[in-house]
């Protein structure tokens, strides 16, 4: 069973507001992924980290999101100015170095009104 | 980039029937993982199976890497199996970044 912890489970924001969600990866997992799952079940990769360093991110994330994975603190993903189209389930996953199996948290469901 | 197609999109069964779910992908994958997503949204890893056949409980996955396809067989389905089954694939290397299909929604009636 996964031990990735995501908070909060639900987040409601108005358009233009900041929306911040957190993720604690499984202990000892240095690689963290963030995905967005929309209402059509489409997964969009947003960003991944190894330890505190960004490995890859998409253009949207670079422009509109702020993400970090500081040592000894939860990882976080923050939308700087929420848009209606950001309403989705945000999933965090972690994996161990050298392993390819991903372990997911329960997700943060964001609703932007 | 990698594309992942899952079929069928939805499946309705009576308890006790078997289910066969398919996953086809556009590029050779070195990693393939099947997930179960509950109606509440949580993803649970079922099997990692980049090639060959793997079993766990009532689940059997068969991946034919050269043909870029994988299947997940659920035997003797139960109502608690209802949910969405997702396939994710990735290629090896520094750009490891799994790509997900849109899933198969399974409903098992009592």
Gap between the Cα atoms of B3 and B26, Å rounded? 5
Count of structural domains within chain B: 1
Residue A55 with chain B: CB contacts under 8 Å: 94
Give pLDDT, residue A59.
Answer: 84
Q: What is the CATH number of the domain that holds A64?
A: 2.60.40.10
Helix or strand run (H / E) with residue B37: strand B31-37
Per-residue tokens: A11? 């987040």
Count of structural domains within chain A: 1
Gap between the Cα atoms of B79 and B54, Å rounded? 23
Tell me the residue range of the domain where B20 lies.
4-109
Beta carbons of B42 and A107 less than 8 Å apart:
yes
Residues in chain B whose beta carbon is closer than 8 A to a beta carbon of chain A? 30-31, 33, 35, 40-45, 48, 50, 84, 86, 88, 90, 94-100, 102-103
- The percent of residues above 90 in pLDDT, for chain B, comes to 76
Tell me the residue range of the domain where A79 lies.
5-112
Gap between the Cα atoms of A80 and A100, Å rounded? 31
Beta carbons of A35 and B100 less than 8 Å apart:
yes
Rg from Cα positions in chain B:
13
Beta carbons of B44 and A104 less than 8 Å apart:
yes
pLDDT tens-digit series, residues A66-82: 999 998 899 999 999 99
pLDDT at A98 exceeding the cut of 80:
no
Instruction: Give the count of alpha carbons within 13 A of A2, CB side only.
Output: 27
pLDDT at A21 exceeding the cut of 70:
yes
Q: What is the CATH number of the domain that holds B102?
A: 2.60.40.10
3-state DSSP percent of chain A in helix, strand and coil, to 5: 10, 50, 40
Quick one: average pLDDT of A21-49?
94
């Amino acid at each position: 069973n996964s031990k990735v912890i995501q908070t909060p489970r639900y987040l409601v924001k108005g358009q233009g507001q900041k929306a911040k969600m957190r993720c604690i990866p499984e202990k000892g997992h240095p690689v963290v992924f963030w995905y967005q799952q929309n209402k059509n079940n489409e997964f969009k990769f947003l960003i991944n980290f190894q330890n505190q360093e960004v490995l890859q991110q998409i253009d949207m994330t670079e422009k509109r999101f702020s993400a970090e994975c500081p040592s000894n603190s939860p990882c976080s993903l923050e939308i700087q100015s929420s848009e209606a189209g950001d309403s989705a389930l945000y999933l965090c996953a972690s994996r161990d170095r050298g392993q390819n199996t991903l372990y997911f948290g329960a997700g943060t469901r964001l609703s932007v009104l | 980039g990698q594309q992942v197609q899952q079929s069928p999109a939805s499946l309705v069964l009576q308890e006790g029937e078997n289910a066969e779910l398919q996953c086809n992908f556009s590029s050779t994958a070195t990693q393939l993982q099947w997930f179960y997503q509950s109606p509440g949204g949580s993803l649970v890893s079922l099997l990692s199976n980049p090639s060959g056949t793997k079993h766990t409980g009532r689940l059997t996955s068969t991946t034919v890497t050269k043909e870029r396809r994988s299947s997940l067989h659920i035997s003797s389905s139960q109502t608690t199996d209802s949910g969405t089954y997702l396939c994710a694939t990735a290629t090896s290397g520094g750009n490891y970044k799994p790509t997900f299909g849109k899933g198969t929604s399974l409903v098992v009636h009592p």
